[in-house]
Structure 1
Amino acid sequence: MRIFLLLLFFTTAGFSQTVEYQISFKNAVHHEAKITATFPKVETDTLTLRMSRTSPGRYALHEFAKNVYGVKAKDSKGQPVQISRPDPYSWQITGHDGTVKLEYTLFGNRADGTYTQIDETHAHLNIPATFMYSEDLKERPVEVNFDLESQPDWKVATQLKQLEGNKYYAPDLYYFMDSPTEISDYDMRQFQMDGQNIRFVLHHQGTEAELDEYFEKVKKIVAEQKAIFGELPEFDFGEYTFLACYMPNVSGDGMEHRNSTILTSTRSLAESGMDRNIGTVAHEFFHAWNVERLRPLSLEPFDFTEANMSGALWFAEGFTSYYTPLTLVRGDIISPEEYAKGLNGTFNYVWNSPGTRYFNPVEMSYQAPFVDAATSVDPVNRENTFISYYSYGSMLGLALDLKLRMEGLNLDDYMKLLWETYGEPEKPYTLEDLESSLAQYAGKDLARIFFENYIYDSKMPNYEELFRSVGLKLERGSEKAFFGPSVLEDTEGIYISGNPAQNSPAYKAGLDKGDRILKVNGKELKTEKEWNEILNNSKVGDTLKLEILRFGTTKKIDVELEKDPTYTISLDEQASKAAKKARNKWLGNNLPR
């Protein structure tokens, strides 16, 4: 979505139209914020205010209104006005004099890419989860004052434009809603690239030296990803901000925004975060191009009242996921051996899943409102029907890149073409645009085959040939016996912890999630260790005679073990010189020399 920034110097009439918010945190220890808002020049008898039900970058519904209470409204003279509730998400204000002054209390205690957390360590604000808004006033500029009188050590970090002190500005409602804010006693590092400022804000309990080491990795990621597209996006106000919060009180997440990203993790840099958190940095910054500006038409305009569905998430999220580890290996943050090893989990998850029988990548993308941090209480069968569009798309990005490289081309240049055609001018694309651009870049036949077989159908590319071209080995044929679903241990013994996959021996035998395994071949079992020993000592074709407990009744079920279907991907040290050269070109540093 193209956001045209308004001038900061308004006319007197224009300035009077500004929606103003103030938020304070005097009761932060109990996760409460006090919020006031002024809506001037209201031209209708009834002003409808609401809390969003969605958040930019998320596709499922989130009922933020449930954490709002103590709502009061007055007119410009301080006289109370009438409030009614037409639905669970809205408040209707009547009897005002053209100005509505609102106040309410917000509870928030989850820090991630969607929700808000307020406590004695910080105020982690996702704007849709925090502020009421009026859809009728969405074109108006917004000012927000963060009152930190009770927290003098806290500082504000956000993509909003700073006006003075703790007062910030957004040109319109959408930009405001897209501007997460971290307020804490954080540390910050920054550098300039192409005349723009890149800031890394970190709220943590670690040392300055740890942040310095981590920041060097961040700089490598920014440089490598710029090399893919040929340029940085033109960031509004000339600045991009990473908002990282690596604290024990947060929930792990990453969420992209137009000129910033949220990064949350309970892993500190001193523990495993130095290596395990950096992938999220790479993923989210790639979104500054792919999804924030190179954006599917199906997400325009973003709807704050309903779930948002797109068939392009295999590309928007999936190709971004492909470039996540690729950026790390090109930036010498991980080794080629680590990169190849890292492919195994995702590759097996995608290509050993029964989900390809039911949905192609476009249809998997349609599932986002049900899986993207969505909540439900009824059981689902996603082990058999769903493959994450992140993972599915990343494996298709891998396949397309290697196929293009066999033709003397590469995925980087295809992404650059899409950027120049749709991203930089911020012209939303369709699936047809993705295919026609691939045809323009690589030829109609290659584009048709890729989209017909792998996007609109669920066929598996010939990875053995593709991997061979860049000196990787794809092997399958372990003689290890395979049972299927995970078995876990609790105080009562061992049980099947998930829905068995349809192509597994356990499924074929009639086992189900929750079944308790009491005996195997007449031997009573109590621990997961005992179960694993039996499996490890079994052979392909062996039959396990199980006695299980289901619904309070014991049953006997025989399971014939099959060959382990797991694929193994590794560097092929016996590869040809041409393949090794292609591998080095694929995984090597792309920066200008």
Structure 2
Amino acid sequence: MKKLNSFFVALLMLAAFGLHGQTYNEYEISFGNRVHHEANIKVKFSNLENKVLEVRMSRSSPGRYAVHEFAKNVYAVKATDSKGNELTVTRSDPSQWNIANHDGTVNFEYTLYANRAGGTYSGIDELHAHLNIPATFIWAKDLGHRPTRLKINIPEGSNWKVATQLKDEGNNTYYAPDTYYFMDSPILIADLHMRERMIDGQNIRLALNTRATDAEVDDYFEEVIKIVEQQKAVFGELPKFDFGEYTFLSNYMPNASGDGMEHRNSTFVVSSKPINRALGNTSMGTMSHEFFHAWNVERIRPASLEPFNFEDANMSGELWFAEGFTSYYTNLIRARSGNITKEQYVNGLGGAVGYVINAPGRMYFNPIEMSYRAPFVDAAASIDPDNNANIFISYYTYGSVLGLALDMSLRSMDNGKNLDDYMKHVWKTQGKNEIPYSVRDLQNRLEEYAGKAFADEFFSNYIFKSDMPDYEGLFKKMGVTFKNTNPDAPTLGGFIRINNGIGRLTGNATIGSPLYEAGIEREDKLISINGKSLVGLKNVNEIISSLNPGDQVSVEIDRWGEKMTKTVTLAANTSMRTGWDQNADAQAQKRREDWLKKK
């Protein structure tokens, strides 16, 4: 999450030479009631000043941008002093506990309920403990500079092993140099499959919790290593991992929540894979995405996220780059490593590009402003309806297709330029020395790499505004086709689910679509189209497929008990697909080969 400063280095030296004198925040966790998803947690704060100790539970978590009220799962709170005398605990807000009149020591104890194993939350059961630190452990204000020590009590009779980026001190005790690093260090405890490989003097580890044979895990790990090597080739080197190690914490269990979450020297990759399903390529795209974050977001880091605020939402205008460009590389790296075929990769590009081109959200927000919306959409919880279907495009998708366009634009200049080398330039100038960046810094780095005119045009049109590049022309230069799959097919412009003869839109009517222009919304019940009942139908295309774009149809609806008929003018299908251009010229074929080949 942050660079190694002199304080961090000094702490490492103290740990290495076994020196004493540091006051630790001491944590202990036990799993006596794990069958009911509970953990017992004890924290000792000592050598305290004579003032109120303010203990907090985080409200946000590294890699997430919205607020999550983790304190809701904390209860049975108790505080005692060094002699075991119970102390009064008061509350100043929902996420804070205040303890006064202590004797310089506070032993803080609580029960945690945890039943959502994912990137943001924690999950505990008889088979494993999946701990995201902000969702698990409290911390104390004004004591964040102190090193932490965590003792993990492994349940008797279990085969649980511990995997984490925290420093292993032996005897199931783990060290972090300060609270910030501790909060960024998830933990997976289970009967883990463990694999590791030294690459350039650093240890790459896989800690995998799933049912799989040793042979399956061996094959899986080899695929992961190929991805690691191809990502290293983009930047020219691995980051310098703290403690010389990076760990994939991979938790693939039926009761887990599919997710991926980057951390400084590790990642949580989570899948709800059924117990008996073969391991295969499970979550390999997420593995690729999250490891790329070891450079792009953890060290090539937006200034807007430095430092991360654990008490509120975190807003950044750079997520189109931090998340979006990472998403562009996710499957490109898989194609280069051989995890998927080059044809599979190319054929999968068109859907995302077509979606962004056609999305009405570009009328409202450019990529920077789309990134600002992360606190509202990034696993954010609310109960009132929103209009995101019309105003929002995921910065993952938006950024990925812009990364694709930038890569194709650079390669089409035929002067040796490409996105790989631009990313390497950003790494060397911003990331390697961990100098946080702004959008203007990214523009300046592109100017240094590809020239002022090119950088100004790209950022002016596609980042500060929401114009779209000429994808059809760019794809053609790369030996890829990009075309409408069926331009003569008529459409109502929305997905309608039919249940018991009644049709309903599955989301808000899309701005500009035939249904929207006719004044039909998701709360309306569709009864018939052109006088034909929907009873017995699975899809409205059974009625409109014989018609043409521009034809008008009558749609009978029921709106809160009142029946009415709307006239809808059918539109043409706008779905776009990419494909391998078998007729590409020699120059385009060479660009395509250079783009997709193993590095």
Q: Same fold (TM over 0.5)?
A: yes
Query: For 1:464 and 1:40, how far apart are their aligned partners in 2?
Result: 65
Picking from 535, 544, 547, the partner of 1:538 is 547
Query: For 2:4 and 2:179, how far apart are their aligned partners in 1?
Result: 11
Picking from 125, 139, 143, the partner of 1:137 is 143
- Could you say which residue in structure 2 is the equivalent of 1:32? 38
- Could you say which residue in structure 2 is the equivalent of 1:449? 457
Q: Does 1:433 align with 2:434?
A: no
- Could you say which residue in structure 2 is the equivalent of 1:464? 472
- Could you say which residue in structure 1 is the equivalent of 2:372? 366
Picking from 532, 535, 539, the partner of 1:526 is 535
Please provide the CA RMSD for this pair: 1.4
Q: Which segments of 5 or more consecutive residues in structure 2 lack a partner in the other structure? A: none
Task: State the identity %.
Answer: 53
- Could you say which residue in structure 2 is the equivalent of 1:339? 345
Mean CA deviation greater in 330-339 or 302-311: 330-339
* Alignment CA distance shift 1:73-1:317 (3 Å): same
User: Which amino acid in the other structure matches residue 223 of structure 1?
Assistant: E
Q: Which runs of 4+ in 1 moved over 6 A?
A: none
Query: For 1:276 and 1:526, how far apart are their aligned partners in 2?
Result: 39
Mean CA deviation greater in 210-219 or 23-32: 210-219
Counterpart contact for 1:258–1:288, Cα < 8 Å: yes
**Within-5 A mapping of 1:269-308:** 271=277, 274-275=280-281, 277-308=283-314
User: Which amino acid in the other structure matches residue 454 of structure 2?
Assistant: L
- Could you say which residue in structure 2 is the equivalent of 1:65? 71
Partner SS state of residue 142, structure 2: helix
Give CA deviations for 1:317-358 in whole Å, capped at 9, x if unaligned: 000000001001111111121111111221122111000000
Q: Does 1:579 align with 2:588?
A: yes
User: Which amino acid in the other structure matches residue 482 of structure 1?
Assistant: T
Partner SS state of residue 455, structure 2: helix
Deviation at 1:585, TM superposition (A): 0.3
Partner SS state of residue 241, structure 1: strand
Q: Does 1:78 align with 2:87?
A: no
**Within-5 A mapping of 1:74-223:** 74-150=80-156, 152-223=158-229
Counterpart contact for 1:124–1:181, Cα < 8 Å: yes
Deviation at 1:272, TM superposition (A): 7.4
Deviation at 1:463, TM superposition (A): 1.0
- Could you say which residue in structure 2 is the equivalent of 1:490? 499
Query: For 1:298 and 1:2, how far apart are their aligned partners in 2?
Result: 15
* Alignment CA distance shift 1:440-1:530 (3 Å): closer
Query: For 2:72 and 2:574, how far apart are their aligned partners in 1?
Result: 46
Query: For 1:151 and 1:418, how far apart are their aligned partners in 2?
Result: 50
Give CA deviations for 1:532-553 in whole Å, capped at 9, x if unaligned: 3123333222222111111122
- Could you say which residue in structure 2 is the equivalent of 1:3? 4
User: Which amino acid in the other structure matches residue 419 of structure 2?
Assistant: L
Query: For 2:525 and 2:428, how far apart are their aligned partners in 1?
Result: 57
Deviation at 1:137, TM superposition (A): 0.4
Give CA deviations for 1:214-272 in whole Å, capped at 9, x if unaligned: 11210110000000000000111111000001110101000000000001111359747
Partner SS state of residue 174, structure 2: strand
User: Which amino acid in the other structure matches residue 79 of structure 1?
Assistant: N
User: Which amino acid in the other structure matches residue 532 of structure 1?
Assistant: N
Query: For 2:272 and 2:95, how far apart are their aligned partners in 1?
Result: 32
Query: For 1:13 and 1:73, how far apart are their aligned partners in 2?
Result: 25
Q: Does 1:411 align with 2:419?
A: yes
Query: For 2:287 and 2:276, how far apart are their aligned partners in 1?
Result: 17
Counterpart contact for 1:32–1:106, Cα < 8 Å: yes
Deviation at 1:511, TM superposition (A): 0.8
Query: For 1:310 and 1:516, how far apart are their aligned partners in 2?
Result: 40
Counterpart contact for 2:501–2:537, Cα < 8 Å: no
* Alignment CA distance shift 1:291-1:269 (3 Å): farther
- Could you say which residue in structure 1 is the equivalent of 2:327? 321
Counterpart contact for 1:256–1:285, Cα < 8 Å: yes
Counterpart contact for 1:494–1:526, Cα < 8 Å: no
Taking structure 1 as the reference length, the TM-score comes to 0.97
Deviation at 1:478, TM superposition (A): 1.4
* Alignment CA distance shift 1:583-1:277 (3 Å): same
Picking from 470, 475, 482, the partner of 2:483 is 475
Partner SS state of residue 85, structure 1: strand
* Alignment CA distance shift 1:373-1:272 (3 Å): farther
* Alignment CA distance shift 1:530-1:130 (3 Å): closer
Q: Which segments of 5 or more consecutive residues in structure 1 lack a partner in the other structure? A: none
Mean CA deviation greater in 212-221 or 413-422: 212-221
Deviation at 1:406, TM superposition (A): 1.6
Deviation at 1:492, TM superposition (A): 6.3
Deviation at 1:28, TM superposition (A): 0.4
User: Which amino acid in the other structure matches residue 439 of structure 2?
Assistant: L
Taking structure 2 as the reference length, the TM-score comes to 0.96
User: Which amino acid in the other structure matches residue 239 of structure 2?
Assistant: P
Query: For 2:538 and 2:158, how far apart are their aligned partners in 1?
Result: 53
Counterpart contact for 2:114–2:124, Cα < 8 Å: yes
Query: For 2:597 and 2:279, how far apart are their aligned partners in 1?
Result: 25
How many residues get paired?
588
Give CA deviations for 1:93-146 in whole Å, capped at 9, x if unaligned: 001011100100000100100001011111100000000101210010000011
Picking from 36, 49, 53, the partner of 1:47 is 53
Deviation at 1:559, TM superposition (A): 1.0
Counterpart contact for 1:488–1:528, Cα < 8 Å: no
Give CA deviations for 1:29-64 in whole Å, capped at 9, x if unaligned: 100000001001111410000100000000000000
Partner SS state of residue 110, structure 1: coil
Query: For 1:505 and 1:306, how far apart are their aligned partners in 2?
Result: 41
Deviation at 1:527, TM superposition (A): 4.7
User: Which amino acid in the other structure matches residue 536 of structure 1?
Assistant: S
User: Which amino acid in the other structure matches residue 504 of structure 1?
Assistant: S
- Could you say which residue in structure 2 is the equivalent of 1:516? 525
Give CA deviations for 1:465-490 in whole Å, capped at 9, x if unaligned: 21111111121361111211111133
Counterpart contact for 2:496–2:539, Cα < 8 Å: no
* Alignment CA distance shift 1:547-1:398 (3 Å): same
Mean CA deviation greater in 542-551 or 166-175: 542-551
Query: For 2:50 and 2:142, how far apart are their aligned partners in 1?
Result: 10
Query: For 1:307 and 1:19, how far apart are their aligned partners in 2?
Result: 26
* Alignment CA distance shift 1:528-1:29 (3 Å): farther
